[in-house]
Amino acid sequence: MTTLYVYPDSAPDRGQRVEDSAEISRILAEAGIGFERWDAGRTLPEGADQEAILEVYGEHVARLKRERGFTTADVVRLTPDHPQRAEFREKFLDEHTHSEDEVRFFVEGSGLFCLHIGDQVLGVHAEAGDLIAVPAGTRHWFDMGPAPHFAAIRLFTNTEGWVANFTGDKIARRFPMLDELPGSAQ
């Protein structure tokens, strides 16, 4: 189940857990974060490659390209035994921003997006069916956990613009990681 954790940015131990999907959407919308639930009932074909996954969600991807001006879509997929899983996890685990929106639609598994907005940290434990759109300039980090299991469609307006600009703030290391969330299976 998609879960949101709301923390004061100075108190990682005072997270409030929100499970109600309407409430999650409301809190994220208020914070300027795009959040959509798409039909998660679609089963991916066994061993589906990037093209097959994009085909399954073709209508949604086309709509987002139209509405938000994206030019490119691809699929990133990580499995628990991926040989570079530790390296990939580290890459986005510190607070950073991008000069364009970061849009991810989870088609399989789950991951933790943490958004640092004002004096709050919003931790979105996103799962298959969730689309999250982090506006350009928003401080955030992403944790795929020590044994990553997710596939996500990524949408870009300019792949060259999508570079992580690290803030140098080690805030991410003070907050619960994916495998430390209450009830985490990882």
**Pairing mode, strands 139-143 and 3-8:** unpaired
H/E stretch holding 156 reads strand 150-156
Question: Of the ranges 8-16, 28-36, 60-68, 94-102, which one interacts with Fe ion (CB under 5 A)?
Answer: 94-102
Tell me the closest approach of the beta carbon of residue 74 to Fe ion, in angstroms: 15
Q: Cα(124)–Cα(2) distance, rounded to whole angstroms?
A: 7
* Residue 71 burial (C-beta neighbours within 10 Å; 0-12, 13-18, 19+): exposed
Gyration radius of the chain's alpha carbons:
16
Q: For Fe ion, give the closer residue by CB, 77 or 96.
A: 96
**Interacting stretch for Fe ion, rule CB under 5 A, among 16-24, 65-73, 97-105, 171-179?**
97-105
Interface with Fe ion in residues 98-127 (CB under 5 A): 102
Q: Which is nearer to Fe ion, 11 or 76 (CB)?
A: 76
Pick between residue 48 and residue 138 the one whose CB is nearest to Fe ion: 138
In whole angstroms, give the CA distance from residue 186 to residue 182.
11
Tell me: does residue 95 bind Fe ion (CB under 5 A).
no
Cβ count within 10 A of residue 148: 22
Task: Tell me how far, at minimum, the Cβ of 115 lies from Fe ion, in Å.
Answer: 10
Minimum distance from CB of 98 to Fe ion (Å)?
A: 6
**Closer by beta carbon to Fe ion, 48 or else 96:** 96
Closest by Cα among 150, 149, 157, 151 to 133: 157
- At its nearest, how many Å lie between Fe ion and the CB of residue 162? 8
Give yes or no for a contact between 116 and 142, defined as CB atoms under 8 angstroms apart: no
| Nearest approach, Cβ of residue 167 and Fe ion (Å) | 12
Count of residues of this chain found to bind Fe ion when the rule CB under 5 A is applied: 1
> Residues in the site for Fe ion, rule: CB under 5 A?
102
